[in-house]
């Protein structure tokens, strides 16, 4: 009998092969766009003329805004510059292979047409149209995978009450109303699946105590029954270790991949699917006053770092209330796209580095080629002097080595237990990361 990949109680049984087939596109994709968009983009981190600290999408909580007051923002939400074709084009040109957008964040406001609430973009805003459906259609048209984020914690739903601890603020459930909220979630998730067919359901806000592991299994099983191919992150259940995002050891966890947040694991995690989500500045939702942008170099190296450890990189943008992706984000995405155009082969559909430890000069990914050889992609961050680079502990025969960007061959010399690449150009072809391909026999 084939091994079961997922054996948590209540979860549909699946063989390893079935699971591999279901996860294939996602594992190969390596790079996706996260989009945090909602009413919070209107204040953009300012409330009543005052700057509000923390992430922009948390403003309702951080500024302690009552539901009735926050709700009024919906009347102003009119994203006249929203151009889903352009958003998808920006993601695609950046080399991203999928998009994950907030369908409902912690504030409870829905970007899709929900029949179980009027607190959505269709019923409550001057815009009056579903925002997710056209994006989903554009994704399919331009060949990207469309995915949705959904928050379990909900500061607007009457079954939940915001806590008094404003920094962390898990909600409490009102007496006897848990089932009502579970059914609300299931109704909305079904609506989402039917209206825009997301390929990943990316849960969040699972930490309030009233939400249990068992609830997670119920939601997971419900969704996989509706769409057996769906991929669901581990925040559907209660297994993740804080922002480290990976599952706690020794537990039967629900969910298909781990979710490190604002960090990248220190080393590869054989047999574990994971995706690091990260902001480009210090907020997920748009903030007028956040200019603390990471450099393009950092973002490219983060993507490489994730790939070298067998994970995906989900990079966030926070569009404005009018519907524009901020220019600094677009610039950075263009820079990443330029690098990937030349070096994408070294990222997509690759596996983690064969070297467990980090290498002094950079990172490595690998891929099995059709002829059975393995191609190592050396991502050189620190270009070596004297035109030579040492590869420790490589016992396989090396058949060929060349620079990915221009195909120029590199001299290979065996020196005992290590391989030395020689006659490298004096300067890197790209100072961010120059990729050297090394083809070796076997694995």
Contacts with ligand FHN by CB under 6 A lie at 55, 57-58, 204, 261, 277, 284
CB of 230 to ligand FHN, least distance (A): 19
Q: Which is nearer to ligand FHN, 169 or 365 (CB)?
A: 169
Kindly state the smallest distance separating residue 228's Cβ from ligand FHN, in Å.
26
203 or 339: CB nearest ligand FHN: 203
Nearer to ligand FHN, 134 or 170 (CB): 170
Closer CB to ligand FHN, 61 or 365, in the complex: 61
- The residue number with the shortest CB distance to ligand FHN is 284
Q: How far is the CB of 205 from ligand FHN (least distance, A)?
A: 6
Long-range own/partner contacts, residues 365-372 (CB < 8 A, 24 or more apart): 365/304, 365/307, 365/308, 368/443, 369/439, 372/442
> Judged by CB, which is closer to ligand FHN: 35, or 376?
35
Of residues 150 and 383, the one with the C-beta less far from ligand FHN: 150
Minimum gap (Å) between residue 440 Cβ and ligand FHN? 38
Q: How far is the CB of 53 from ligand FHN (least distance, A)?
A: 14
Q: Pick the closer one to ligand FHN by CB: 93 or 244.
A: 244
Long-range contact list for 225-229, CB < 8 A, 24+ apart? 225/12, 226/189, 226/190, 226/193, 227/193, 227/197, 228/12, 228/22, 229/22, 229/199
CB of 192 to ligand FHN, least distance (A): 17
Q: With respect to ligand FHN, which residue has the nearer C-beta, 38 or 362?
A: 38
User: C-beta of 145: minimal distance to ligand FHN in Å?
Assistant: 18
Distance in Å, CB of 388 to ligand FHN, minimum: 42
Query: Residue 258 Cβ, how far from ligand FHN at the closest point, in Å?
Result: 12
Q: Which is nearer to ligand FHN, 154 or 204 (CB)?
A: 204
């Amino acid at each position: 009998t084939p091994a079961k990949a997922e054996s948590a109680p209540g979860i549909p049984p699946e063989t390893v092969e079935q699971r591999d087939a279901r996860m294939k596109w996602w594992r190969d994709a390596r790079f996706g766009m996260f989009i945090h968009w909602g009413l919070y983009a209107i204040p953009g981190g300012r409330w009543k003329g005052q700057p509000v600290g923390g992430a922009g999408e948390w403003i309702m909580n951080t500024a302690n805004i009552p539901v009735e007051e926050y709700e009024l923002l919906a009347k102003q939400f009119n994203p006249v510059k929203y151009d889903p074709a352009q958003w998808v084009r920006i993601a695609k040109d950046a080399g991203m292979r999928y998009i994950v957008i907030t369908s409902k964040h912690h504030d409870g406001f829905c970007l899709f047409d929900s029949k179980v609430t009027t607190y959505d973009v269709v019923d409550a805003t001057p815009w009056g149209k579903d925002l997710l459906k056209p994006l989903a259609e554009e994704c399919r048209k331009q060949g990207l995978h469309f995915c949705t984020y959904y928050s379990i914690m909900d500061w607007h739903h009457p079954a939940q009450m915001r806590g008094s601890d404003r920094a962390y603020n898990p909600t409490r459930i009102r007496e006897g109303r848990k089932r009502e909220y579970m059914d609300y979630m299931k109704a909305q998730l079904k609506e989402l699946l039917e209206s825009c067919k997301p390929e990943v359901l990316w849960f969040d806000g699972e930490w309030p105590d009233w939400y249990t592991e068992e609830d997670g299994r119920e939601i997971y099983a419900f969704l996989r029954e509706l769409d057996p191919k769906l991929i669901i992150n581990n925040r559907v259940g209660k297994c993740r270790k804080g922002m480290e995002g990976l599952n706690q050891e020794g537990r039967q966890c629900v969910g298909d991949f781990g979710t490190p947040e604002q960090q990248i694991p220190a080393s590869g995690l054989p047999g574990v699917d994971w995706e690091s989500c990260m902001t480009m500045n210090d907020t997920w939702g748009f903030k007028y006053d956040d200019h603390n942008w990471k450099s393009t170099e950092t973002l490219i190296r983060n993507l490489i770092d994730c790939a070298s450890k067998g994970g995906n990189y989900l990079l966030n943008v926070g569009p404005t209330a009018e519907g524009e992706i901020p220019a600094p984000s677009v610039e950075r995405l263009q820079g990443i796209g330029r690098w990937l155009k030349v070096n994408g082969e070294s990222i997509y559909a690759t596996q983690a580095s064969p070297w467990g430890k980090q290498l002094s000069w950079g990172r490595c990914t690998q891929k099995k080629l059709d002829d059975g050889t393995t191609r190592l992609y050396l991502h050189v961050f620190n270009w070596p002097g004297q035109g030579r680079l040492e590869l420790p502990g490589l016992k396989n025969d090396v058949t060929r080595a060349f620079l990915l960007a221009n195909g120029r061959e590199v001299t290979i010399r065996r020196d005992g237990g290590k391989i030395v690449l020689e006659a490298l150009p004096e300067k890197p072809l790209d100072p961010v990361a120059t990729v050297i391909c090394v083809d070796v026999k076997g694995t």
